Amino acid sequence: MSGTFVGMPAFPAAAHEAVRDATLRGNLRHATHTIRAKRAKAVAEVSDWARLREAGRRIKDHTLRHLDRYLVQVEEAVTAAGGTVHWAVDAAEANRIVAGLVRATGESEVVKVKSMATQEIGLNEALEAEGIRAYETDLAELIVQLGKDRPSHILVPAIHRNRGEIRDIFRSEMKEWGRPAPEGLTDTPAELAEAARLHLREKFLRAKVGISGANFVVAETGTLVVVESEGNGRMCLTLPETLISVVGIEKIVPTWQDLEVFLQTLPRSSTAERMNPYTSTWTGTTDGDGPSTFHLVLLDNGRTDTLADEVGRQALRCIRCSACLNVCPVYERAGGHAYGSVYPGPIGAILSPQLRGTGSAIDASLPYASSLCGACYEVCPVAIDIPEVLVHLRERVAQGGGATREGNKVVLRPARGHRAERAAMRAARLALTHPALLRGGQRLASRTRRLHPRTLPGPGRAWTGTRDLPALPAEPFRDWWQRTHGGEEGTK
């Protein structure tokens, strides 16, 4: 979506509610532990994983540094291959472009490949407002759509649902969207998959317009790449007469040789597979093969602003593998909905506040939605130092309130709710830059230590509610050192 989910509170409040849901926590614990164990095994098979990881980081950094050149190269290559390139500065413009392209075909329905970019801009809702119905065809996205739900995971959007819940959704909702669920449907995976297959098949055969994103765009040929595990994506990419792809500008890789690196690291980091069962590539249009009309919508929507931040820009390396979600202790307990964004988990905590700004309560809270344990950095296949960016964004929120995007401009706004933190940091800076003042403060604190409370009052209670304040020693270290090593001076 282009903004936060409607009615979402800031992360602490949303997480507080989520951790009380025992079913949700059970679903998340089972799923994340299973996925990360399989991923660890798949990665361990590769003897040069560290070198692949470093290669991916370097390729992404190089591309981002020269993104202007590669974007022009993509446009020229796609146009030469028979496609049409459109540029969208924000979500509203992207939605207008796509809706206009669909209307031009005379169609009132589209089939969709799983796409984070189209979720980010709220495309389904925008099309619905234009009288166009969008059908999600990825199994997990279908579950979310039928259940009138929201995605909670990058790779497995319905990770918060168990099989019984999915069966109930299919039984009650499929008939409202097309072919109903089979009579006597159970919650066995095979039956659920078959019900989805039968439901979607009629849509694949009827739809004239397909909409996709892309995992990668190869600049040297203008080729788009989609990797998947089910085959629904390939149906959407090959059967319709018109294909519209909405792709973030950061998805570019310079050459096919560069693509080779990510086709090794992405499947192992995401689905724990050696390679994706379906890797679809297409370059423009070809007579008698696939869609006869192809449109590529290159999406900015805050990415250029993110690129300008020397620390935060590394978030644009992300290849959407979701490995960071599966190892994050915060995500495992709170779930994806608490993040108020289509990008949940650690990567969402650094990407969403940069794409949307930190002016809203939810976006200002996301950099704090982490324990900074570093597990996310350890598993990232492109070496995004998520803890570093989190701390960087926390500083932005505390110091200046960050920024909000208004159209094409970034507007700085003052911080709210961090006055005490800023005052404490100023006091610490003053004391640490004046040794005499620091020494006097240490002596005063030691002499009054019996009067100190064990918990902090006011807002500090949230921190000390489960922690005791550290006890102060009877004398500062400096005084002890002078008393034991400095002769008479230590007795003064």
Q: What's the pLDDT score for residue 2?
A: 40
Whether the predicted pLDDT of 354 surpasses 70: yes
> What percent of the chain clears pLDDT 90, i.e. is strictly above it?
76
Give burial (CB, 10 Å; 0-12/13-18/19+) of 166: buried
- Residue with structure tokens 């765009």? 217
pLDDT at residue 361 tops 60: yes
Sheet holding 223-228, edge to edge: 252-253, 216-218, 223-228, 278-282
In order of 139, 163, 201, 290, the CA distances from 353 in angstroms are 29, 33, 38, 38
User: Counting beta carbons within 10 angstroms of the beta carbon of residue 180, is it exposed (0 to 12), middle (13 to 18) or buried (19 or more)?
Assistant: middle
pTM: predicted TM-score of the whole model, two decimal places? 0.85
pLDDT at 45: 95
pLDDT beyond 80 at 402: no
**pLDDT tens, position by position, 49-79:** 999 999 999 999 999 999 999 999 999 999 9
- pLDDT for the residue numbered 492: 43
CA distance 56 to 262: 7
List, in sequence order, every residue forming a beta bridge with 223; answer none if it has no partner.
Answer: 218
Q: 416-445 pLDDT, tens per residue?
A: 556 667 788 888 899 899 999 998 989 998
Whether pLDDT at 6 is above 50: no
What's residue 454's pLDDT? 79
Q: Distance (Å, rounded) from C-alpha 271 to C-alpha 105?
A: 36
* Average per-residue pLDDT for the chain: 91
- CB-CB contact of 102 with 127 (8 Å): yes
Q: Indicate whether 211 pLDDT > 80.
A: yes
pLDDT, tens digit, 9 for 90 and up, residues 175-184:
999 999 999 9
pLDDT digits (tens, 9 = 90+) for 365-391: 999 999 999 999 999 999 999 999 999
pLDDT at 242: 98
Within its chain, how far is the Cα of 317 from the centroid? Answer: 12
Q: How would you classify residue 411: left for phi > 0, otherwise alpha for psi between -120 and 50, otherwise beta?
A: beta
Residue 213: band (very low, low, confident or very high) from pLDDT cuts 50, 70, 90:
very high
The full 3-state SS of the chain, as one line of letters, equals CCCCCCCCCCHHHHHHHHCCCHHHHHHHHHHHHHHHHHHHHHHHCCCCHHHHHHHHHHHHHHHHHCHHHHHHHHHHHHHHCCCEEEEECCHHHHHHHHHHHHHHHCCCEEEECCCHHHHHCCHHHHHHHCCCEEEECCHHHHHHHHCCCCCCCCCCCCCCCCHHHHHHHHHHHHHHHCCCCCCCCCCCHHHHHHHHHHHHHHHHHHCCEEEECCCEEECCCCEEEEEECCCHHHHHHHCCCEEEEEEEHHHEECCHHHHHHHHHHHHHHHCCCCCCCEEEEECCCECCECCCEEEEEEECCCHHHHHCCCCHHHHHHCCCCCHHHHHCHHHHHHCCHHHCCCCCHHHHHHHHHHHHECCCHHHHHHHHCCCCCCHHHHHCCCCCCHHHHHHHHHHHHHHHCCEEEECCEEEECCCCCCHHHHHHHHHHHHHHCCHHHHHHHHHHHHHCHHHCCCCCCHHHHHHHCCCCCCCCCCCCHHHHHHHHHCHHHHHC
Q: Considering only 20-29, 62-71, 106-115, 133-142, which range has the smallest mean pLDDT?
A: 20-29
Question: pLDDT tens across 80-130, in order?
Answer: 999 999 999 999 999 999 999 999 999 999 999 999 999 999 999 999 999
Least Cα distance to 344 among 326, 325, 320, 364 occurs for: 325
Q: What is the mean pLDDT of residues 10-24?
A: 90
**What is the per-residue pLDDT for 269?**
96
- pLDDT, one tens digit per residue, over 443-477 is 998 889 888 887 877 767 777 777 777 888 889 99
Q: Take residue 119 and report the two structure tokens written for it.
A: 């979720």
Q: What pLDDT score does 415 carry?
A: 52
CA dist., res. 364 & res. 151, Å (int): 21
The CA distance from 13 to 16, in Å, is: 5
**How would residue 410 be classed by pLDDT, with cut points 50, 70 and 90?**
very low
Angstrom distance (rounded) from CA 282 to CA 295 = 12
Residue 166, pLDDT > 80, answer yes
pLDDT at 458: 73
Task: Give 488 or 366, the one with higher predicted confidence.
Answer: 366
In degrees, rounded to 5, the angle at the alpha carbon of residue 62 between the alpha carbons of residues 58 and 65 is: 140
